[in-house]
């Protein structure tokens, strides 16, 4: 695999030779990635390819078997608290304490990131994401789109240098999805870098500057969506699945296979 060209901007995330194993099963095998400041990077792969294991290693939720993860130069293993303080995370299945109201949840998480917010400041932030009327409701009473908006608000409440989004638009209607893409772009424009996983090729092509395709724990390819298409369009596996012009989805299925993964 050839290394994609770099623009020379500072690296916000460096994943070096990362391997993750669960017992004898190797979930991630020597994966290396780099994300620059202000870049939106997509991690694509079928179910069980190792995307969530890579994300969990970056989030310090699991201990990798080998390799190194640096967030703006801070080693996540050596200094997890410091690294977590500059990182925002939206997990695949976001859940907050069911007894707490939205306002209380925002207050809790802002405190965990060292920010004291007054009730008025919390309400202003909730108004920004259109949840001011829901401030007194518990999280479970919000719709899927509202839950995602709140999860994203909490992920960026401390203005992180790196934002990790694990399948942020899964289960959202097209309107909510588009709105979320806008918010992700806004984070980038404000100076943040974003690593997201997705099953949506449309999302990867529309939102991401670069994408990496992962399969069976290995990095298959990594570049801008257009360059990936250009690079693999003549691959016989890709040609076999393409109907007309080769798309990113054709390349994805061609490189990772057509069989259904659970």
Partner 1 sequence: MKYVTSYEQAMSPGPKLIYGSLLKADLLVLVKNRRSVVLSILLPMVILFTTHGNKAQQRLGGSLILVGLAITYGLMSTSMLGYTLGVARDRDAGVFQRLRVTPAPTWMIITSRLAIQVVANLVIALLVVIVGASMYHLTLGFGQYVLVLAISILGGALFLSIGLALVGMLKSSDTVNAAGRIVFAALIFLGLFGISGALGGALQFIASWSPVGTVMALFSAAINPAKWAGHDSLSLLVTLAYIVCFAGVGIRWFRWDTH
Q: How far apart are CA 146 and CA 152, in angstroms?
A: 10
Pick one of 34, 39, 72, 215: the residue that binds partner 1 (CB under 8 A). 72
Burial level of 24, CB count in 10 A (0-12/13-18/19+)? exposed
Q: Contact between 112 and partner 1 (CB under 8 A)? A: yes
How many Cβ atoms are within 10 Å of 186's Cβ, its own excluded?
11
Rounded distance between C-alpha atoms, residue 166 and residue 197, angstroms: 5
118 is an interface residue for partner 1 by CB under 8 A: no
The reply to whether 73 sits near partner 1 by the rule CB under 8 A is: yes
Q: Which stretches does DSSP call E strand in the chain?
A: 11-22, 25-36, 40-44, 66-71, 74-75, 87-90, 162-166, 193-198, 210-215, 218-223
137 binds partner 1, rule: CB under 8 A: no
Query: Using CB under 8 A, which of the segments 40-48, 74-82, 195-203, 233-241 binds partner 1?
Result: 74-82
* Residue 236 touching partner 1 (CB under 8 A): no
Under the criterion CB under 8 A, does residue 161 sit at the interface with partner 1? yes
Helices (H) and strands (E) in the chain, counts: 10, 10
> Does residue 111 belong to the site contacting partner 1 (CB under 8 A)?
yes
Site for partner 1 in 78-97 (CB under 8 A): 81-82, 84-87, 89, 91, 93-97
Q: How far apart are CA 76 and CA 201, in angstroms?
A: 30
Instruction: Give whichever of 128 and 173 is closer to partner 1, judged by the CB atom.
Output: 128
Residue numbers at the binding site for partner 1 (CB under 8 A)? 37, 59-61, 71-74, 81-82, 84-87, 89, 91, 93-100, 104, 107-116, 156, 158-161, 186-187, 190-192
């Amino acid at each position: 695999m050839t290394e994609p060209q770099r623009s020379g901007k500072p690296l916000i995330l460096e994943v070096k030779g990362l391997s993750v194993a669960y017992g004898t099963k190797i979930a991630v095998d020597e994966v290396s990635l780099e994300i620059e400041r202000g870049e939106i990077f997509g991690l694509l792969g079928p179910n069980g390819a190792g995307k969530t294991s890579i994300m969990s290693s970056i989030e310090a939720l699991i201990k990798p078997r080998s390799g190194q993860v640096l967030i703006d130069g801070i080693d996540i293993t050596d200094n997890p608290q410091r690294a977590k303080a500059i990182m925002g995370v939206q997990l695949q299945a976001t859940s907050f304490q069911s007894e707490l109201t939205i306002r209380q949840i925002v207050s809790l998480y802002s405190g965990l990131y060292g920010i004291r917010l007054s009730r008025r400041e919390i309400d202003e932030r909730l108004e920004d994401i259109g949840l001011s009327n829901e401030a007194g409701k518990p999280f479970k009473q919000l719709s899927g789109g509202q839950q995602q908006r709140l999860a994203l608000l909490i992920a960026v409440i401390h203005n992180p240098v790196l934002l990790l989004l694990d399948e942020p638009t899964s289960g959202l209607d097209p309107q909510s999805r588009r709105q979320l893409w806008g918010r992700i772009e806004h984070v980038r424009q404000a100076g943040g870098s974003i690593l997201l996983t997705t099953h949506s090729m449309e999302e990867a092509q529309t939102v991401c500057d670069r994408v990496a395709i992962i399969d069976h724990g290995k990095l298959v390819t990594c570049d801008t969506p257009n360059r990936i298409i250009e690079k693999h369009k003549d691959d016989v596996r890709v040609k076999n699945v393409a109907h007309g012009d080769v798309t990113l989805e054709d390349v994805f299925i061609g490189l990772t296979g057509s069989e259904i993964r659970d």
